[in-house]
């Protein structure tokens, strides 16, 4: 389980955005910490196909899409079927959980490297709208916050652990 990231509570905008995203990123793995691979692939909430492994795969995919493909314009292959594909949630296998966690961490590092030299005002067009790198950071913080809430609920159903 990664150590909690305790970033700054004041500073320039980029430092704050990057630090808060890293807090959200590592929080996901803290929620998953100590579980077995079958537990990571379990779908304990009735009415949904969400699993912690599916969330890990999904967030690796969206890291690649938003930072590397869209913001940095890297011509790289999509991950887990690409944007709009449900395979990130559907096709995970418990035995692959360690590899999927490593892939997520790798995407974090590659995402940060891809945009390191870009200013927050750097923009690109997506869906006929102009997006800034600043908005990508805000979007990803929201994406992790939402999915970390899902992860908290799944974890509580699996073993009763809360407050990670």
CATH assignment at residue 90: 1.20.120.450
- Give the pLDDT band of residue 128 (cuts 50, 70, 90): very high
Spatial separation of the C-alpha atoms in residues 125 and 146, rounded to whole Å: 25
Spatial separation of the C-alpha atoms in residues 91 and 93, rounded to whole Å: 7
pTM score, whole prediction: 0.94
The whole-number average pLDDT for the span 28-36 is 95
- For residue 148, pLDDT beyond 70: yes
Structural domains of the chain, count: 1
Spatial separation of the C-alpha atoms in residues 119 and 108, rounded to whole Å: 18
pLDDT of residue 79: 95
Considering the domain boundaries, does residue 164 fall inside one?
A: no
Instruction: Identify the domain containing residue 47 by its residue range.
Output: 13-159
Considering the domain boundaries, does residue 19 fall inside one?
A: yes
Helices 52-63, 133-159: crossing angle, 10 deg rounding: 170
Query: Nearest 5°: phi and psi at 49?
Result: -100, 15
pLDDT, tens digit, 9 for 90 and up, residues 72-123: 999 999 999 999 988 899 888 999 999 999 999 999 999 999 999 999 999 9
Considering the domain boundaries, does residue 52 fall inside one?
A: yes
pLDDT of residue 9: 83
């Amino acid at each position: 389980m990664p150590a909690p990231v305790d970033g700054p509570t004041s500073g320039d905008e980029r430092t704050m955005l990057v630090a808060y995203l890293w807090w959200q990123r590592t929080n996901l793995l803290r929620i998953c910490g100590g579980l077995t691979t079958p537990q990571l692939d379990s779908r304990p909430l009735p009415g949904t196909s969400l699993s912690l492994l599916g969330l890990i795969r999904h967030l690796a995919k969206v890291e690649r899409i938003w930072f590397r493909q869209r913001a940095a314009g890297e011509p790289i292959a999509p991950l887990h079927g690409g944007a709009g594909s449900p395979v990130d949630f559907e096709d995970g296998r418990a035995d692959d959980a360690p590899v999927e966690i490593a892939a997520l961490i790798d995407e974090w590092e590659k995402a940060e490297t891809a945009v390191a030299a870009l200013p927050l005002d750097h923009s690109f067009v997506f869906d006929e709208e102009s997006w800034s790198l600043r908005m990508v950071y805000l979007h990803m913080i929201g994406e992790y916050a939402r999915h970390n809430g899902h992860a908290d609920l799944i974890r509580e159903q699996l073993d009763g652990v809360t407050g990670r």
